[in-house]
Amino acid sequence: MSKLAVVPGSFDPITNGHLDIITRAAKVFEQVNVVIMNNSAKNSLFTVEERKALIEEATKKHSNVKVESSDGLMIDYAEKVGAVAVVRGLRAVTDFEYEMQITSMNRVLDENIETFFIMTKNQYSFLSSSIVKEVAKYGGNISELVPSVVEQALREKFAR
């Protein structure tokens, strides 16, 4: 059985921090499915289709990375695709409590799917999609923080 990992998130939009986690997961697992969780409670800037296209462009050189989206529970998606693992990124202790809660709940739902954490590179430890959107909104330079295709997409969003 090929070892498939799921990397779930909102990716609104994908940042270099996300990309770092996806790239490192793709070195360890045979197949990585990035899954955009379509959580209606969150107000998103990009549609699911736009987010998917941006992630596909940013990860196109990794042949074992696939991008999908899901409306339901992440663990249901992971079961459906036959994943052995879920990979999440950890930035700081502030992420820890939230991640621990989610991981514990996912273990209750399916104890066979392991969650792995990859610690972010230092230069991305402050980076989030929200902070990137905030900086982009006021015309700040985000070229070091996001893939160029995302920089362009943000510029277009905020030019309107």
CA distance linking residue 28 with residue 85, whole number of Å: 11
Contact between 67 and 55 under an 8 Å Cβ cutoff? The reply is yes
Given the residues 27, 40, 42, 143, select the one marked as catalytic.
42
Active site residue 91: yes
Q: How many CB atoms lie within 10 A of CB 4?
A: 18
Residue with smaller CB distance to ligand ADP, 134 or 160: 134
Residue with smaller CB distance to ligand ADP, 1 or 143: 143
82: left (phi over 0), alpha (psi -120 to 50) or beta: left
- Cα–Cα nearest to 37, from 82, 68, 81: 68
CA distance linking residue 88 with residue 86, whole number of Å: 7
Which residues contact ligand ADP by CB under 6 A? Answer: 9-11, 15, 17-18, 21, 88-89, 91, 95, 120, 124, 127-129
Active site residue 42: yes
Residue with smaller CB distance to ligand ADP, 4 or 35: 35
| Closest approach of ligand ADP to the CB of residue 88, in Å | 3
Contact between 145 and 132 under an 8 Å Cβ cutoff? The reply is yes
> Do you find a cis peptide bond into 13, omega within 30 degrees of 0?
yes
Residue with smaller CB distance to ligand ADP, 64 or 128: 128
Given the residues 10, 18, 51, 133, select the one marked as catalytic.
18
Given the residues 24, 62, 91, 121, select the one marked as catalytic.
91
Active site residue 129: yes
| Closest approach of ligand ADP to the CB of residue 17, in Å | 2
Residues recognised as catalytic: 18, 42, 91, 129
